[in-house]
């Protein structure tokens, strides 16, 4: 995503990151214990409780939370929650933002294609309001993702080549230094 959006992506306030961490911890407990209710007022703030409350009322069969999912093309992603909801496979991803951005939509389209599941963004704003957004697959977002992925792979190959070339050069210099020491 940094290829497509090279600007500073660290604009998310710490409070939103903390809320996201709390929610992920709640999801992991929920999935690992197969609980359909998770309430710990000491852990969850007012912005997270409505999400848990909404999910507890849904016919959801939990599969995994924040697990690394291996996809096609060697890409790995971490949807916040994988589940079956009303007999259909879904991924859920929480965003603690005022509104979804283009980068979120590109990520969502990539998750749709790569996981073969339908996607849902759960948006939580500063006021604690929770909005559910179904993530529709968009060919232009997929194209942007693949273009960014190709650039990333090219850069990674170049970096690996430079690292290997530097390693060979370092080995040669060490060999020469050892030869000089033996003389």
> Which residues, 6 or more positions from 175, have their beta carbon under 8 angstroms from its beta carbon?
none
pLDDT band, very low/low/confident/very high, at 14 (cuts 50, 70, 90): low
Higher pLDDT, 96 or 161: 96
> Alpha-carbon distance 135 to 60, whole Å?
18
What is the pLDDT, as a whole number, of residue 81?
76
> For residue 12, how many C-alpha atoms fall within 13 Å in the half-sphere facing its CB?
17
Residues 148-157: b if buried by 16+ CB within 10 A, e if exposed: bbeeeeeeee
pLDDT band, very low/low/confident/very high, at 17 (cuts 50, 70, 90): low
> Alpha-carbon distance 150 to 115, whole Å?
19
> Alpha-carbon distance 123 to 129, whole Å?
8
Which runs of consecutive H residues, i.e. helices, occur in the chain? Answer: 14-33, 49-56, 102-115, 139-182
Start-to-end C-alpha separation, the chain: 54
Find the mean pLDDT for residues 106-122. Answer: 83
Its pTM surpasses 0.75: no
Higher pLDDT, 182 or 106: 106
Domains of the chain: 14-137 (3.40.1350)
Asked if pLDDT for residue 52 goes beyond 80, the answer is no
Asked if pLDDT for residue 148 goes beyond 50, the answer is yes
> For residue 2, how many C-alpha atoms fall within 13 Å in the half-sphere facing its CB?
7
Asked if pLDDT for residue 35 goes beyond 50, the answer is no
Find the mean pLDDT for residues 114-137. Answer: 81
Find the mean pLDDT for residues 113-134. Answer: 80
What is the pLDDT, as a whole number, of residue 98?
81
pLDDT band, very low/low/confident/very high, at 181 (cuts 50, 70, 90): confident
Find the mean pLDDT for residues 110-133. Answer: 80
What is the pLDDT, as a whole number, of residue 1?
44
> Alpha-carbon distance 48 to 52, whole Å?
7
């Amino acid at each position: 995503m940094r290829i497509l959006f090279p600007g500073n992506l660290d604009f998310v306030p710490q409070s939103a990151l903390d809320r996201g961490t709390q929610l992920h911890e709640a999801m992991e407990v929920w999935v690992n214990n197969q609980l359909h209710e998770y309430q710990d007022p000491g852990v969850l703030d007012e912005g997270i409780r409505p999400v848990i409350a909404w999910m507890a009322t849904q016919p959801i069969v939990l599969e995994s939370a924040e697990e690394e999912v291996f996809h096609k093309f060697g890409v790995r992603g971490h949807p916040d929650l994988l589940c079956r909801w009303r007999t259909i496979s879904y991924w859920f991803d929480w965003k603690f933002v005022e509104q979804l951005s283009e980068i979120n939509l590109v990520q969502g389209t990539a998750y749709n294609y790569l996981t073969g599941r339908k996607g849902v963004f759960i948006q939580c704003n500063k006021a604690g309001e929770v909005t559910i957004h179904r993530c529709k697959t968009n060919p232009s977002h997929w194209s942007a993702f693949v273009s960014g992925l190709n650039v990333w792979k090219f850069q990674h190959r170049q970096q690996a080549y430079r690292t290997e070339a530097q390693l060979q050069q370092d080995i040669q210099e060490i060999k020469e230094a050892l030869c000089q020491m033996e003389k």
